[in-house]
Amino acid sequence: MPSWDVRTSYWNIGSSLSLAVTIPFIIYKVMRAVYLHRSFRELRGKVVVITGASSGLGEALAHEFYKKGCLIVLCARRRQELDRVREDLLKIQSTGPTHHPIIMPLDLSDINSLETAVTKILEITGHIDILINNGGVSHRGNVIDTKPDVDIKIMVVNYFGAVALTKAILPNMIKQKQGHIVQISSIQGLIGLPSRSAYCASKHALQAFSDSLRAEVKDSNIHVTVVSPGYIKTHLSENALTGTGNTYGQMDETTLSGYTPEYVAECILTAVVKKTKEVVISPFLPKIAIFLRRFIPHLYFVAMSRRARKTN
């Protein structure tokens, strides 16, 4: 058994190592908090356009950016729900200056109307600083049972709608030499899952578009952030389209146990102020799946085949 002096020496060494790790960690956390605080202050007065703002993640994002002093433009199809969200925002007790939210009814599937909507926003605000392409629709159905019309509808809303809105806003951002485009993708934009073919395809397309866009607009001081969350506890699965085009109408267990919209919105806010290019908000298992798809695809294919058998 070690003598008392030896044990004391071990204790001293352990304490020194602990301090050597703890002190830099504390310094890092303090510096990070100061940096984020200053960055959050820079958001004050920024014009933020959010699609899908009538519920779920879009509504949570509206709350986060509104509390930071941004001028929020709420976009979605349901005017009544947008009114509700605006009233909820106005009830927030803020310590800093806030701006009266703007409502802009908007249907992402009506591609030809989006440029007109952007023109109306610019007439009111004069400019747009941040676009968050959050609106979208999900899918539940096997490939063979999904009608092509459903594939097209999901691609129009999730991909072409986001692309058209981005293109309508880009000239203003390029003119002012600054801007930030946030694409809300999904883990399923990085890995394809059984019974989600149309949704996965639309998000894969959005990922690729964003990579091309990021390179092209870098010299115009425009940032592009792609956010890939896992399951979020929203009504996305209930509003998903089946293979026949009907509404799925069920809350999946995975969705029910997912992240809260508020948590994901906080992560996205931080990503915006840090100008992060890609953010994966996910538990450990989906990250393993992403790793396997990229580096050991055979194992990924085996795992997905087994998952497909279970869901059929």
pLDDT tens digit sequence for 275-292: 999 999 999 999 999 999
Return the DSSP state at 113: G
Helix ranges restricted to H, the chain:
4-41, 56-67, 79-90, 114-125, 148-155, 161-176, 197-217, 253-256, 261-274, 284-295, 297-311
| Nearest-5° Cα angle at 268, 304 to 272 | 125
pLDDT at 98: 80
pLDDT at 4: 53
Side-chain-side CA neighbours of residue 131 (13 Å): 28
pLDDT at 254: 87
pLDDT at 11: 62
- Both tokens of 272, joined, read 């915006």
d(CA 65, CA 209): 25
In this structure, what are the phi and psi dihedrals at residue 87, rounded to the nearest 5 degrees? -65, -40
Answer yes or no: are the C-beta atoms of 254 and 211 closer than 8 Å.
no
Q: Enumerate residue ranges in the chain where pLDDT < 50.
A: 1, 28, 31
d(CA 65, CA 23): 33
**Residues with catalytic annotation?**
199
- pTM for the full predicted model: 0.87
Q: Which residues contact 227 (CB under 8 A, 6 or more apart)?
A: 182, 183, 184, 185, 267, 268, 271, 279, 281
Return the DSSP state at 95: S
pLDDT tens digit sequence for 190-231: 999 999 999 999 999 999 999 999 999 999 999 999 999 999
pLDDT at 233: 93
pLDDT at 28: 44
Domains, the chain, in order of start with CATH, read 46-281 (3.40.50.720)
Q: Which residues contact 169 (CB under 8 A, 6 or more apart)?
A: 49, 118, 128, 131, 179, 181
| DSSP letters for 13-25 | HHHHHHHHHHHHH
Q: 249 by DSSP, 3-state: which?
A: coil
- Both tokens of 183, joined, read 């694409």
pLDDT at 18: 67
Residue 179's CB is within 10 A of a number of other CB atoms, namely: 24
d(CA 277, CA 71): 23
- Both tokens of 102, joined, read 């703007």
